Copies of this chain bind each other. A is one copy, B any other.
Amino acid sequence: MNRHDTPSAVPSSNADLVDIPGGREELDTPCLLVDLPVFKQNIERAAQMVADTGKAFTPHLKAHKTPDIAEMQCAASAAGFCVASIGEAEVFAKYGDTPLTITSATVTGRQMARIAALSKQVSELTVVVDTPPNIRALANLDATVSVLIDIDMGRGRSACTEEAQAVHLAREIMGAPNLNLAGLQCYAGQLSHMNDFHDREEQAAASDRRAGAFLAAVGSIADGPLRCSGGSTGASMFDLASSALTDLQWGSYALMDVEYGLVQATPDGNPLPFEPALRVATRVISAGHETHVITDAGDKRFANKYGAAPRVASPNRYLGAEFRPVSDEHGELKGSPLLRLGEILEVIPPHCDPTVNLFDALHVVDGDRLVDIWSIAARGVY
């Protein structure tokens, strides 16, 4: 990743506030912030956690869609990246030659043309397949592509549910001169937001056994060692000890959110070792009520899958209080002492990935300053 290739024209009316003392309080809102010291600590912790395991760290870029963050992940420890779509791969391929894995199946002729073009831009491009038609389409490409077989880990997303199917797919891949059988994708996404430690421990063990069985079956006919790509921020503490996983796809750990904060990472219920770095900044625009204030960020600024409310991170007197979007455009904060008209509120969003997906820029803050603005360059692509 090359920082200097990032877009210079970042879409933010706040660009004039960079490096101005007190700029954090002056921001035009609603806008998305990343608290730099917390964020850096998350990046470093993940690198340390993975370092001694012998596993490859391949963060999922769908979580942040931001080339500046990918560059920092690369500098810390990433051996490559995962992306959700060809469009995301196309954006990140512009910023440097890092191995990329597209984690969803690709099926159309137009997609094949884009994959062929991409494979000439990056030194290693990997895609997933779950049925023979995926493989036949790839086998016709005038391009060399690595392939992971996508295994159904219990969510019904992939159609490869039996070891015999995986072996059959592996033989087809090995029979195509332009395809390289790289291994398996064993992504047990259901673990990610299973908050109870013991439930997750049991399911993680079952996933590990299942991944191991598929690896053994496909490994018995493969020419060399196989990758096994998977894992998630929510399951990170189990992923480290997994006997099957070789590549860890964690994504949300760098930014975190309210929902990941509810995940129990230890038997006595401690949270994950990552802290919330992402905030939506919103401002009080109506303060004449006795019971509440109204702010300028509603449902269009907060994605919410599991029903958790955003939580106030600042000002301190409201730390941890629930903030509620009350319409598409407005939010409400109850309680006293009431906030003042014009006061800025920083709120930790319920779910980081789809909230980042609502904004064009990440405003990087440190202390009372706005220190940089990063383009969420892969937002909206497909």
Contacts and interface: CB of A to CB of B under 8 A. Distances in A.
Interface of A: 11, 13, 26, 28-31, 62, 84-85, 87, 104-108, 110-111, 114, 130-131, 133, 155-160, 189, 283-289, 291-292, 294, 296, 299-300, 303, 305, 326-330, 332, 341-342, 353-354, 357-360, 380, 382
Nearest to A111: B28
A30 to B, nearest CB: 6
22 contacts: A11-B380, A26-B108, A31-B382, A62-B329, A84-B328, A84-B329, A105-B285, A106-B285, A107-B284, A108-B342, A131-B286, A131-B287, A155-B327, A156-B289, A156-B332, A157-B286, A157-B294, A159-B288, A296-B382, A300-B303, A300-B357, A358-B358
A300 to B, nearest CB: 5
- Interface SS, A side: loop
Nearest to A105: B285
Nearest to A330: B157
Contacts of A107: 283-285, 341-342
Q: Which of A158, A328, A360 has the most CB of B within 10 A?
A: A328
A103 to B, nearest CB: 8
B357 A327 contact: no
**Copies per complex of this chain:** 2
A285 B328 CA distance: 31
Contacts of A29: 382
Of all A-B residue pairs in the complex, the 9 with the closest CB atoms, nearest first, are A159-B288, A107-B342, A131-B288, A360-B380, A105-B285, A84-B329, A300-B357, A159-B286, A300-B354
A340 to B, nearest CB: 10
Contacts of A294: 156-159
Contacts of A330: 104, 157
A110 B329 CA distance: 20
A62 B329 CA distance: 9
A382 B28 contact: yes
A285 B158 CA distance: 9
Nearest to A361: B380
Contacts of A87: 13
A148 to B, nearest CB: 14
